[in-house]
Amino acid sequence: MSAKVRLALMVVLALAQLAVPGTIIAIHESVLRLGKPYKFRVAPVDPYDAFRGRYVALGFARTQAPAAPGMENQRGPAWARVVEEPDGFAGFAEVAPKPAAEGDWIKVMISYAYRGTANFRLPFDRFYMEESAAPEAERALWRRSWRQRTSQEAYVVVRIRGGRAVVEQLFLAGVPIAEYLKQNPPEKEQPR
């Protein structure tokens, strides 16, 4: 094989290796820019991922919807139609094996479907933030959401487009979590 052919193959291979992450990033950014925003109520915890760092794990209050006929006792992947509820937060109108042409649908994992209702897990369950701020964000969410019983104050805005969902921002008391932490600095813990 000549040197020119080898060089051409290496260039093609390098471009292919750059195209894959570039495509993933472009799709993600497209959803963030053009997707319809929905607010989901959350219940947070703060775990650590050795490969991706600190994040705030998200649990959601509304993760069930009417199941389409024939989905009794089904588990696994399905599609949920996202709607905006009267309170301004996201809810789900139905769960079906395939998305319909109209509406915003996201792929979910059914935990169980029984008596016409499907319970499921959402495809987004983490909010990544600056590593040193994540533990304080979890503590702030715990103080505001759990102790004060005001979970309506903690929510994420998720953009949905073409079946894809991307978490845009985590809010506490109506402001982005990073801004909330700046406005409400952590309390110094007293030695025991």
pLDDT for res 50: 55
Question: What is residue 110's predicted lDDT score, i.e. its pLDDT?
Answer: 93
Give the pLDDT of residue 190: 46
Q: What is the pLDDT of residue 20?
A: 85
pLDDT at residue 46, rounded to an integer: 47
pLDDT tens profile 26-80: 888 888 888 888 887 776 454 555 555 567 777 787 888 999 888 888 889 999 9
How far apart are the C-alpha atoms of 11 and 180, rounded to whole Å? Answer: 47
Amino acid at site 73: N
Q: Are 94 and 66 in contact (CB under 8 A)?
A: yes
Q: Which residues contact 119 (CB under 8 A, 6 or more apart)?
A: 63, 64, 110, 111, 112, 113
Check residue 53 and give its pLDDT: 58
Q: pLDDT at position 79, please? A: 94
Task: Confirm if 124 and 142 have CB atoms less than 8 A apart.
Answer: no
Burial-class residue 90 by CB neighbours within 10 Å (0-12, 13-18, 19+).
buried
**Strand, helix or coil at 66?**
strand
Q: How far is CA 17 from the centre of its chain?
A: 27
Which residues does 102 contact at the CB level (< 8 Å), separation at least 6? none
Q: 102: buried, middle or exposed (CB in 10 Å: 19+, 13-18, 0-12)? A: exposed
- The alpha helices in 35-157, defined as continuous H runs, are 134-141
Judged on CB neighbours under 10 Å (0-12, 13-18, 19+), 164 is: middle
Sequential pLDDT tens for the chain (192 residues): 788 888 888 888 888 888 888 888 888 888 888 888 888 777 645 455 555 556 777 778 788 899 988 888 888 999 999 999 998 899 999 999 999 888 999 999 999 888 889 999 998 888 878 777 877 777 777 776 555 554 447 888 999 988 889 989 988 888 898 898 888 876 654 444
pTM, two decimal places: 0.69
Question: Can you tell me which residue has the tokens 């004060």?
Answer: 148
Helix (H) or strand (E) holding 33: helix 3-34
Q: Name all domains of the chain by residue range, CATH numbers in brackets.
A: 35-61+122-192 (2.40.50), 64-121 (no CATH)
